[in-house]
A and B are shown apart, each in its own frame.
Chain A
Amino acid sequence: MSDKKGRFGVHGGQYIPETLMNAVIELEKEYEHYRNDPDFVRELDDLLSRYAGRPSLLYYADKLTKTLGGAKIYLKREDLNHTGSHKINNVLGQALLAKKMGKTRLIAETGAGQHGVATATAAALLGMECVVFMGEEDTKRQALNVYRMRLLGAKVVPVTSGTATLKDAVSEAMREWTTRIDDTHYCLGSVMGPHPFPTIVRDFQAVISKEAREQILEYEGRLPDAVIACVGGGSNAIGSFYNFIGDEGVRLIGCEAAGRGIDTFETAATVNTGRLGIFHGMKSYFCQDEFGQIAPVYSISAGLDYPGVGPEHAYLHDIGRAEYVPVTDDEAVDAFEFLSRTEGIIPAIESAHAIAYAMKLAPTMDKDKIIIVTVSGRGDKDCAAIARYRGEDIYE
């Protein structure tokens, strides 16, 4: 794989203000050092197992499989991690790295609030200050997570610029980082932004597919036929794909948020509707107009409501190694309810996009085929919004 100088094919790079260049160069150097430092690796493994609850289960969803009547479906249960999503995998790695680098303050962007909660959690645990930038629109959609972050000691800054969603939270976190670099690490939550972030976040999330590969070999004695995960920036998806990339027989399928449909303007399906561009520190695909103005994207899922996609996904798309399929709000909400009823597992609305595609794919496959679907997070945070979507106001 070409990731020399932070490039994935033509994608990636470091398109950031000069003010931040020495900070990302230092980060790259320190990361290269610590990733090979046995003490760091041991400390992180220890946090992942004793604090975050890894390894996460690979659960055979027997009832879901039988109901759909096709391929066997395994669920990689990232929802069972401490803080309720895959975000903790990356955050514990970055927070520990930041601490080793002598940083005392973490800043982060968040969409659905899962990355913000994970960052606030790590900051509390490691005794660091924490500021989380969150689009004002998202602070309303995800009020519970705002409270959780505050409870954990973090300051939550509502971002009112632009569309007041995830992309604006990223912009504001980048602006804050240029203001205060000495003591602050920008704990980026997805496989995006300038090099080395896409690589660092991917490495920390690759634990998902490392475990899933071992688990499926143990349970089934063979590799899966497909791995499915939802894609916003793409951190749980790259984590789910990474250790299967060399296994050509394994289809890798990323599910993008199509919102109200890829033929409408209310969509966040970047690979399906975007064009090559340069934004938020990277070259990749972005939803944009003909003059390169970033489009105001839409999805019911605050965590997938982002106009870009990580550069490694853009590359996997270019070389045809992974497929990126659109899943609408309606399909995701149906899947959210369906998984809750059939398996007693309430998935995050983000993860429900992956479930929705598995529900389409599994019945078309033979019963001896195997699909792994990553349940990237749990859905408690989404209950109020889904109830509202169904016309029911459960509180307020």
Chain B
Amino acid sequence: MSDIASAFSRGKAFIPFITCGDPDLETTGRIVREMAAKGADLIELGIPFSDPTAEGPVIQAANIRALSGGVTTDKIFDFVAELRRDVKIPLVFMTYANVVFSYDPERFMARCCETGVGGIIIPDLPFEEKDEFQPVCRQYGVDLISLIAPTSADRIAMIAKEAEGFIYIVSSLGVTGMRSEITTDISAIVSVIRENMSVPCAVGFGISTPEQAAKMSSFADGVIVGSAIVKQIAEHGRDSAAPVGEFTAKMKAAVI
């Protein structure tokens, strides 16, 4: 069992995402500490991948910035170990299957366990392929977070029954990125999940404003925001901690 449940124990959770090493790990460290101080309940740390097929242009660009800055999986584990000296809130990784596979899944999960990373989100690892990593995740107490999409339909119950940590509900079709409107019936998805499993549900993809966050959190247990934060990092670079912290405070206040 990971520490993820505690992120949902103080009301609705606000879950920001950032790409590690964008533009460098020192900046990532400052942003993470600032977000934690301003009310983030759980932080999703992206390990960059050269070809992130589930991402829109904003996060794609962050992946490129991070990799061209020289960040690697090894450096990120060292960074998280250092971060853990004072950052106590739950952390999860978000990365692509090949990053874990090439590192050696057992070594990867062992280091997650050592550094206190409680879960991992792998957007290109659907239910049918989760045996690729699930056994080592279990062995090291790392929750393999399941995703449910607007197209999941008859698959929701099957996925929910085996979910752990929390369920990531993908709010919209397409890739990550800000959207003016979210039309998927999130509450219908949540109620099917609830019939099958008692696990927190967080909604992500396309959420960028406090209004959207408020609305989405009324249907679920938490709200995930990525592109809207990464866009600010693209704009402010090494000086991103303050504006991202402010944004975090606003979003946390909006989730109800």
The complex places the Cα of A150 from the Cα of B114 at a distance, in Å, of 55
Contact, CB under 8 Å: B102 / A275:
yes
Contact, CB under 8 Å: B147 / A17:
yes
Contact, CB under 8 Å: A294 / B173:
no
Tell me which residues from 134 to 170 in chain B have a Cβ below 8 Å from any Cβ of chain A: 147-155, 159, 170
Instruction: Quote the shortest CB–CB distance from A286 to chain B (angstroms).
Output: 7
B87 at the interface (CB under 8 A from A): no
Contact, CB under 8 Å: A293 / B97:
no
B196 at the interface (CB under 8 A from A): no
> Chain B residue with minimal CB distance to A14?
B128
Residues of A within 8 A of B154 (CB): 22
- Residue numbers of A with Cβ under 8 A of B are 13-23, 161-162, 167-168, 171, 174-175, 178-181, 275-281, 286, 288, 290-294
Residues of A within 8 A of B99 (CB): 291-293
> Chain B residue with minimal CB distance to A180?
B173
**Interface segment, B25-33, B119-127, B223-231, B237-245?**
B119-127
Residues of A within 8 A of B98 (CB): 277-279, 286, 288, 292, 294
**Are A21 and B127 also in contact (CB < 8 A) when A278-B98, A291-B99, A292-B101 are?**
yes
> Chain A residue with minimal CB distance to B148?
A18
Contact, CB under 8 Å: B126 / A18:
yes
Which single member of A22, A179, A276, A279 contacts B153 (CB below 8 Å)? A22
Give chain B's interface residue range (CB within 8 Å of chain A): 35 or more
**Are A279 and B54 also in contact (CB < 8 A) when A14-B126, A22-B151 are?**
no
Instruction: Quote the shortest CB–CB distance from B144 to chain A (angstroms).
Output: 13
> Chain A residue with minimal CB distance to B205?
A19
Contact, CB under 8 Å: B53 / A175:
yes
Instruction: Quote the shortest CB–CB distance from B122 to chain A (angstroms).
Output: 9
Residues of B within 8 A of A19 (CB): 149-151, 170, 173-174
Contact, CB under 8 Å: B126 / A17:
yes
Which single member of A18, A275, A280, A281 contacts B127 (CB below 8 Å)? A18
B175 at the interface (CB under 8 A from A): yes
User: What would 20 A/B residue contacts be, using CB atoms closer than 8 Å?
Assistant: A14-B126, A15-B125, A17-B53, A18-B148, A18-B155, A20-B151, A21-B126, A21-B127, A171-B51, A175-B54, A175-B56, A178-B173, A179-B174, A180-B173, A181-B151, A278-B124, A279-B97, A281-B124, A291-B74, A291-B99
Residues of B within 8 A of A276 (CB): 101
Which single member of A17, A167, A275, A286 contacts B124 (CB below 8 Å)? A17
> Chain A residue with minimal CB distance to B168?
A18
Which among B73, B74, B128 has the highest number of chain A CB atoms within 10 Å?
Answer: B128
Contact, CB under 8 Å: B124 / A162:
no
